[in-house]
Structure 1
């Protein structure tokens, strides 16, 4: 158990390092968070609108709009600019806390994968590496890419890098470490034992 937790910790740390490089030093997500010299006037205008905190998609229709009104809006908006806004009343910069939560989430995610891998009867580097790489592919397709289909995010390839590079690195670690741990395990193989029993 302790060795599995250790595997999850190191795997989560590797994911965190890749994410840190992607969002920080390499700045691959910059296309989705660009600077504009008009930011002050835009923020002041939005503040004057007294919007409730939340996400806004424009153009859009009210929640109680009919399907006909929705179709008319889509027709009128075709080929014109549109915008998605995440509006918050206060900027709370909690870098340390957010980084700790991100690391904890990564460790938990890798721990769940370790739980699955721990049930495999034939631990092999290649199988564990591919399982981790497929996990990264699932993570990418299920969230960033599905979101991109509808809202055309500007940092799609950065998310692809995060998923494949991070989980491939994690897969190398798990493929090297976990098989050795499982082979040293003293847990009895009840299936093998039952097959050797003579039941009259």
Structure 2
């Protein structure tokens, strides 16, 4: 249990530090958040037209649309521009609380991984490191890549880098921690 807690705390910090570096210092995700000098007009239009927070596909259909309406819509919209708008009514955020929650989640994630690898038969550095890289790839393919198939993201390679680097670093740490040979009594 002690090894799991130490692994989770240090591994969670490793994930957290990489996420911080990726999103701030290295700015790998900058392609997903581009600037337009028309932002004031766009925000004014959105604020006057959208009544509640949410994510909107524009143009879209109401939830009550029939199958036939969906089919017709797909035909008429083929090749035309569209937007995915995530609209928030307030930019009030508590950066400190969000960072603490992120760190706790990172520690939980690594704790779950530690619980899995502690049950491995071949508990050595290489097996743990490769397992960690596989988890990173699973994470990447499960959300960023699958979403990219349908809704082209502009920071797909940043997410790929995040998954491989963060889980690779966690794998090095956990491979060292769990792969150490036990001293014979």
TM-score normalised by structure 2 residue count: 0.95
CA contact (8 A) 1:144 1:156 kept: yes
Which segments of 5 or more consecutive residues in structure 1 lack a partner in the other structure? 187-200
Partner residue in 2 for 1:58: 58
C-alpha contact 1:54 1:87 (8 A) present in aligned 2 = yes
| Superposition deviation, residue 93 in structure 1 | 2.4
TM-superposition CA deviations, 1:113-172 (whole Å, max 9, x none): 000111123311000001100000000000101110100011100100110010001101
* 1:157 and 2:175 correspond: no
Could you tell me whether the CA contact under 8 Å between 1:59 and 1:73 is conserved in 2? no
Quote the Cα distance in structure 2 between the aligned partners of 1:54 and 1:185.
Answer: 59
Matches within 5 A, 1:123-138: 123-138=123-138
Aligned to 1:192: none
Q: Aligned pair in 2 of structure 1 residues 43, 6: CA closer, same or farther (>3 Å)? A: same
Q: Does 1:16 align with 2:22?
A: no
Runs of 4+ with deviation above 2 angstroms: 182-186
Unmatched tracts of structure 2, length 5 or more? none
> Offset at 1:2?
1.8
Q: Which residue of 1 aligns with 2:72?
A: 72
- Could you say which residue in structure 1 is the equivalent of 2:177? 177
User: How many residues in Structure 1 have an aligned counterpart in Structure 2?
Assistant: 185
TM-score of the aligned structures, taking structure 1 as reference length: 0.88
Question: How far apart, in 2, do the equivalents of 1:102 and 1:54 lie?
Answer: 22
Structure 1 CA distance for aligned equivalents of residues 115 and 80 of structure 2: 49
Alpha-carbon contact 1:15-1:106 (below 8 Å) kept: yes
* Partner Cα separation in structure 2 for residue 143 and residue 151 of structure 1: 11
Matches within 5 A, 1:24-43: 24-43=24-43
Pair member with larger Rg = 1
- Residues 184 and 51 of structure 1: is their aligned pair in 2 closer, same or farther, counting only changes over 3 Å? farther
